[in-house]
Amino acid sequence: MDATGGLLACEGVLAGLYLRERTGRGSAVETSLLAGARALRAAAPENLLGWDVLDGPLETVDGHLVVDAPDPAARRRLQQACGLDAGATGAVAAERIADRLRELPAAVWEERLRDAGVPAARVCADPRELPDDPRVKGRLESVNGDCWAPGAPWRFTSNR
């Protein structure tokens, strides 16, 4: 968890305690790093962070796709892979790319963008599919046979 995630969790706990004082009832708190990032973005002056529609999951015909095009050269490759001319820039280009991505399935775009040198990945909408997803296979550990969790980033060995 990063600092923003910790702050969001803290704010949620404080809001829950305040609610308990007002109503006499407890509540559960859930938070999202993506929602926190969006809140930061919304609070920042326009374009201060340089984020646009391409910095989140993008809708396709059958699901969502994430792309990594952080610099102008990558954005041009992305535009070309989408069949768009490089005339538009900034938010206008980002919106046109997002519109184009809605026209085909995520798997088609994933392959097309990979071939163009733009990292892209389909978003897994059903967590039950994750253990068999080749992108994360071997990185998850079964917990009690019915739940999966990320494997620990460390290993212990005997030092005898």
Domain spanning 52-150, CATH architecture: 2-Layer Sandwich (3.30)
Say if residue 4's pLDDT is above 80. no
- Percent of the chain beyond pLDDT 90? 29
Give residue 121's pLDDT.
Answer: 92
Number of H helices, E strands in the chain: 5, 5
Cα 33 to chain centroid, rounded:
9
Whole-angstrom distance, CA of residue 24 vs CA of residue 12: 17
pTM (2 d.p.): 0.60
The most confident of the ranges 9-13, 45-49, 73-77 is 73-77
Place of tokens 């097309």: 112
E strand spans, 84-150: 120-122, 140-143, 147-150
Domain with CATH 3.30.1540 in the chain: 52-150
145: left (phi over 0), alpha (psi -120 to 50) or beta: left
**pLDDT 10s digits, 93-127:** 889 999 999 999 999 999 999 999 999 999 988 87
Give residue 8's pLDDT.
Answer: 78
Give residue 1's pLDDT.
Answer: 43
